[in-house]
Amino acid sequence: MQTHLFINGAWESPLRGGTLEVIDPATEAVIHQAPAGTAEDIDRAVSAARTAFDTGPWPKMSGADRAVYLRKIARKITEKREALALLEVRDNGKPLPEALWDIDDAAGCFEFYAGLAEELDANPEEIVPLGDARFASKVVQEPIGVAGTITPWNYPLLMVSWKVAPALAAGCTVVLKPSELTPLNALELGLIAQETGLPPGVLNIVTGTGPDAGEPLTRHPDVDKLAFTGSVATGRKVMIAGAQDIKNVSLELGGKSPFIVFADSDIEQAVEWIMFGIFWNQGQVCSATSRVLIEAPVYDAVLARLVEAAGKIRIGNGLDDGTLLGPIVSRGQYDKVLAAIERGRTEGATIAAGGGRAEGFDRGYFIAPTVLTGMSEDNYAWREEIFGPVVCVRSFETEDEAVRSANNSRFGLAAAVMSKDLARCERVARALQAGILWINCSQPTFTEAPWGGYKQSGIGRELGRWGLSNYLQTKQITSYLSDEPWGWYIK
Ligand code: NAD
């Protein structure tokens, strides 16, 4: 486990010498003291990234040359797969098979953007047809510059990869500020970058808290681009900070995503996907389908099966064989989730399953899979992102009612619909206000496809070619071709 910040290709002590306690959420044991960077360290990191961008080789290299580094990073992640997954479990709490999946996805993300970096070479410019034959216009794409990237704790290495891989592919240089709750694998990425010989200053990693390290990064005048994933409240602050210098800002924020289940659905499949949509990663998933709408004729049957199956989920330390639900990431999040359940209850919800601390644990932040029913659309638990293993369930009578209820939210990240009638699924998918729509499933995520939200769930898209565009800017180069003088002032 790393004890230093990664700045300009070297391992540096935080200038103020602070540390962050890293706590294993399954045991509550302090497992590491990670470096706590502050504004001074952010300054050093931004300065290194600025120099690497303005005078270093990185932005001027061919995409194919950058792809070589990205592929090396992907390979190293794969070589260290087990060790990285174990660190992820101890840092975040998630079950080991989920952590292994995340690490594979992280490697896949670097591999994918290596391919897109190569494509940049294949399409270096685009000719734009003009309505005036005296001129010719072409368009080139250039890296934006220094990217300040800030990530959350729910998929520690994967969320980092979703930003660092496309930023590097585009030719940007990066300062990364990962979540203070899960700093371990972000620092391991620094080691991997060093092992691949990435030029100094291209990737800099400063661990630290939001106020001490995140905020100075968002306000830094030498940062050109801010890419943030986290809560709406922090996203708003990032946008305000970025407004000072009119930085390019992209935001991946929270959600309260609906899942509409029609009566013709297979009940076992519906319950399986409802559970995958909310209990995977302990429900700490921005796109979790936490509001479930079930058509009235099957409401009782689906609910009964859901309550039964939720009660059987194997809860435990993510390192133990067979664990399907680990602890919540931290004491603070654990308290927040329990408080949200309690508020939902006092505002009228019925607890059909779970509702509190998982039984049989005297330590660790374990919460039982929870199913809430009987609440109104105004209920706190129905409206707000809880970010834990808590699903709210209501019934509906008509398709129109389901769509209206699903869209009645300030969020719009994802939504799911289940029915054997595929025309209806398609119609409902088009009517739902969300950036990611799942039909007859919930949550599968692919590096090739765009990811991001409508409404307060964010601005911009990550992943796929959209993720690369986040770090590119567009330049038109227009030439006057005619031999005729322009003749406006000088006749
Ligand atoms: P958070 O907003 O508390 O923190 C996110 C990051 O911002 C952390 O690194 C934190 O240190 C930093 N930060 C905090 N205050 C800051 C400030 N003033 N300036 C700059 N940076 C600051 O969110 P979290 O609790 O880490 O993550 C959970 C949230 O992230 C949920 O709302 C979830 O929905 C969202 N999320 C969204 C996506 C997506 O793709 N849309 C993915 C994962 C998580």
Q: What is the pLDDT of residues 149-177, one digit of tens each?
A: 999 999 999 999 999 999 999 999 999 99
Residue nearest atom 16 in ligand 1 by C-alpha distance: 210
* Structure tokens that stand for 189 in this block: 């990425």
pTM: 0.98
Decide: 255 in ligand 1 pocket, CB within 6 A.
yes
The verdict on whether 286 is a catalytic residue reads: yes
Provide the pLDDT for residue 278. Answer: 98
Q: Span 45-61, mean pLDDT?
A: 98
Q: Give distance in angstroms: CA of 230 to centre of ligand 1.
A: 2
Decide: 238 in ligand 1 pocket, CB within 6 A.
yes
Residue nearest atom 38 in ligand 1 by C-alpha distance: 286
Provide the pLDDT for residue 13. Answer: 98
Catalytic hit among 188, 252, 385, 462: 252
HSE-up (13 A, CA, CB side) for residue 299: 14
Decide: 254 in ligand 1 pocket, CB within 6 A.
yes
Residue 419 burial by Cβ neighbours in a 10 Å radius (0-12, 13-18, 19+):
buried
Decide: 12 in ligand 1 pocket, CB within 6 A.
no
Catalytic hit among 286, 295, 392, 425: 286
Residue nearest atom 10 in ligand 1 by C-alpha distance: 210
Q: Which residues contact 166 (CB under 8 A, 6 or more apart)?
A: 113, 116, 462, 467, 468, 470, 471
Residue nearest atom 42 in ligand 1 by C-alpha distance: 286
Task: Report d(CA 26, CA 89) in Å as an integer.
Answer: 9
Please state the atom number of ligand 1 nearest to the C-alpha of residue 286: 34
Decide: 460 in ligand 1 pocket, CB within 6 A.
no
Q: Span 296-316, mean pLDDT?
A: 98
pLDDT digit string, tens, across residues 225-256: 999 999 999 999 999 999 999 999 999 999 99
Provide the pLDDT for residue 173. Answer: 99
The per-residue pLDDT of the chain, averaged, comes to 98
Q: Span 351-362, mean pLDDT?
A: 97
Decide: 218 in ligand 1 pocket, CB within 6 A.
yes
Provide the pLDDT for residue 485. Answer: 96
Please state the atom number of ligand 1 nearest to the C-alpha of residue 453: 41
Provide the pLDDT for residue 469. Answer: 97
**What burial letters (b/e) apply to 390-404, b meaning 16+ CB within 10 Å?**
bbbbbbbeebeebbe
Q: Span 370-391, mean pLDDT?
A: 98
* Structure tokens that stand for 81 in this block: 């797969």
CB 109 within 8 A of CB 447: yes
Provide the pLDDT for residue 123. Answer: 85
Taking only Cα atoms into account, the Rg of the chain, rounded to an integer number of angstroms, comes to: 24
Decide: 92 in ligand 1 pocket, CB within 6 A.
no
Bridging pattern class, strands 248-252 and 258-261: unpaired
The verdict on whether 484 is a catalytic residue reads: no
Provide the pLDDT for residue 440. Answer: 98
pLDDT digit string, tens, across residues 458-472: 999 999 999 999 999
pLDDT digit string, tens, across residues 426-458: 999 999 999 999 999 999 999 999 999 999 999
| Amino acid, single-letter form, for residue 412 | G
Beginning with the edge strand found earlier in the chain, give each strand of the sheet holding 126-128 in spatial order: 126-128, 135-143, 472-480
Task: Report d(CA 295, CA 434) in Å as an integer.
Answer: 21
Task: Report d(CA 230, CA 286) in Å as an integer.
Answer: 9
Three-class secondary structure of residue 22 per DSSP: strand
Give the Cβ contact number of residue 454 at 10 Å.
19
| Amino acid, single-letter form, for residue 309 | A
Q: Give distance in angstroms: CA of 152 to centre of ligand 1.
A: 5
CB 326 within 8 A of CB 317: yes
Bridging pattern class, strands 350-353 and 30-36: unpaired
Residue nearest atom 28 in ligand 1 by C-alpha distance: 230
Residue nearest atom 40 in ligand 1 by C-alpha distance: 252
Decide: 455 in ligand 1 pocket, CB within 6 A.
no
Portion of the chain with pLDDT greater than 90, in percent? 99
Q: Give distance in angstroms: CA of 155 to centre of ligand 1.
A: 11
Residue nearest atom 14 in ligand 1 by C-alpha distance: 210
Q: Which residues contact 48 (CB under 8 A, 6 or more apart)?
A: 7, 8, 9, 200, 201, 204
Task: Report d(CA 349, CA 381) in Å as an integer.
Answer: 8
